[in-house]
Amino acid sequence: SRSSTQQSSAADLLVVANRLPVDQVVEADGSTSWRPSPGGLVSALAPVMRRNQGAWIGWPGNAGEEMEPFEEDGLTLVPVALSEEEVAEFYEGFSNDTLWPLYHDLAAKPSFHREWWDSYVRVNQRFADAAAANAAEGATVWVQDYQLQLVPAMLRELRPDLRIGFYLHIPFPPAELFSQLPWRRQILEGLLGADLVGFQLSGAAQNFVRLVRQRVGHKTHRDTVYLPDGRVVRARAFPISIDTEGFEELAASEEVQARAAEIRRDLGNPRTLFLGIDRLDYTKGIHARLRAFSELIADGHLDVEDAVFVQVATPSRERVDQYRQLRDDIDQLVGRVNGDLGRIGRPAISYLHSSFPREEMAALYRAADVMVVTPFRDGMNLVAKEYVACRLDGDGALVLSEFAGAADELRQAYLVNPYDINGMKATMLEASRAQPKEVARRMRAMRKTVSEHDVSHWASTFLTSLAGDPESHTKQTHP
Ligand code: G6P
């Protein structure tokens, strides 16, 4: 039962993700070029898929016409086109103004619109059709993230021969929040099309199994869901990670070391360089962290002559209202803080609204004494792990929100509650004044974690689990 869509390639391993690993950019003169896509999902999966010569199905990042599949760096890329309206309703709307805030503990108020849902269904079907058309007989298809939760069931309907995995990169909310969603049952049934549903944390997997029992009425036991047709679905945690070796090599390069020294020099060789690097997103807690820092200066605990906060905020989802509002709020805070507390050549906050290549990130990580990662809620947060990987000398302090998935593994970070400004102030100060021995002890333990559990470990654990479990292979229904 192949789909009627034309078969353009036949891969044994396919990733289906909302974004391709590269984004198409249209210049003012109409010419086009490609650049790496933003976000943790792409940075985690791209190295794994390059090594596996798989096919990657995804959206090129702007509204446009259909495009032929093409090869890039050992990967077959299969573009899925979205119209202007679908970008507004499926991507900016349902994905990023309904699901995103709902799945992140209501960090903003989610909007529920029926037309957005209709668009979500249509676009998910398009991704499922593309996967069905490009998968070899018996292939493994790995569907990614909250934008595509209906794809597993749609794909199973078209291609029962496939092994289907799903991985959610963001948190999966507790039943009390998820249940607000008017389409909660359809989402659960969409995910149940997979053989294995992966989450960052075991609590998320438990939330999912509990919801399936309550809302869909299937039998469950621990991590397993028993469907009426005899098929079983497993829900497990697979904490994602980074290309640790890649970052270590980058950080060790002469160019990056020289650039790190240059950054410190350009900032006036401060005694303490605090660093934040985030997508400009209201879940990241950027505003609260900059406020905490500025109060430390205003209170006299830190001095702009020897402390500076470098905040990189990568532009993101700029047409969604709440993101626009956030940008204005941060602009205003940074302006006020620097106006009130800065001196000539010594801003309190050095704010960069821009995205940088990996080399520049590695140099910033190397240059920073205290990395500050304070999301209100975050699936994992790879920036925290990247910082650890780049600290080749074993120094550097990590201040980390206990509400980031990474806090489960990086127990030796300076953990904070991002809602508690005074607590953050105290911990940022403690981290900046800690004895080098204490900082090194913590960093050593975290470096061990990040080097033992890198992204290829993550991918192979997931894929082995998906391939294994023979009793969970698709069963025929017996009348
Ligand atoms: C997070 C999500 C990804 C998403 C990325 C960037 O990491 O888990 O699915 O791709 O943010 O967001 P964007 O909306 O630009 O794709």
DSSP for 204-271, written as a single string: HHHHHHHHIIIII--EEETTEEE-TTS-EEEEEE------HHHHHHHHHSHHHHHHHHHHHHHTT--S
Q: How confident is the model at residue 476 (pLDDT cuts 50, 70, 90)?
A: very low
Binding site membership of 170 for ligand 1 (Cβ less than 6 Å): yes
> What pLDDT, on the 0 to 100 scale, is given for residue 470?
52
Contacts of 174 (CB under 8 A, 6+ apart): 207
Tokens linked to 327:
């940008």
> What pLDDT, on the 0 to 100 scale, is given for residue 40?
78
> What pLDDT, on the 0 to 100 scale, is given for residue 27?
87
- Judged by DSSP in three states, 413 sits in coil
Give the C-alpha separation, 140 to 137, whole Å. Answer: 9
Give the C-alpha separation, 387 to 248, whole Å. Answer: 10
Ligand 1 centroid vs 326 CA: distance in angstroms? 17
Q: What is the ipTM of this complex?
A: 0.99
Average pLDDT along the chain: 94
Count other Cβ atoms within 10 Å, centred on residue 465.
17
Ligand 1 atom nearest the C-alpha of 17 is: 9
> What pLDDT, on the 0 to 100 scale, is given for residue 9?
67
Ligand 1 centroid vs 38 CA: distance in angstroms? 7
Q: Can you tell me the mean pLDDT for 328-336?
A: 98
- Judged by DSSP in three states, 154 sits in helix
Q: Can you tell me the mean pLDDT for 22-26?
A: 89
Count other Cβ atoms within 10 Å, centred on residue 45.
23
Give helix then strand counts, H and E, for the chain. 17, 18
pLDDT at 139 over 80: yes
More confident residue, 320 or 45: 320
The tokens 């903003």 sit on which residue? 108
Contacts of 227 (CB under 8 A, 6+ apart): 192, 218, 233
Pocket test of ligand 1: the residue of 23, 42, 87 to mutate, having most ligand atoms within 8 Å of its CB, is 42
Ligand 1 atom nearest the C-alpha of 146 is: 9
Binding site membership of 44 for ligand 1 (Cβ less than 6 Å): no
Q: Can you tell me the mean pLDDT for 170-189?
A: 98
Ligand 1 centroid vs 415 CA: distance in angstroms? 25
> What pLDDT, on the 0 to 100 scale, is given for residue 475?
45
Q: Residue 462: which region, alpha, beta or left (left: phi > 0; alpha: psi -120 to 50)?
A: alpha
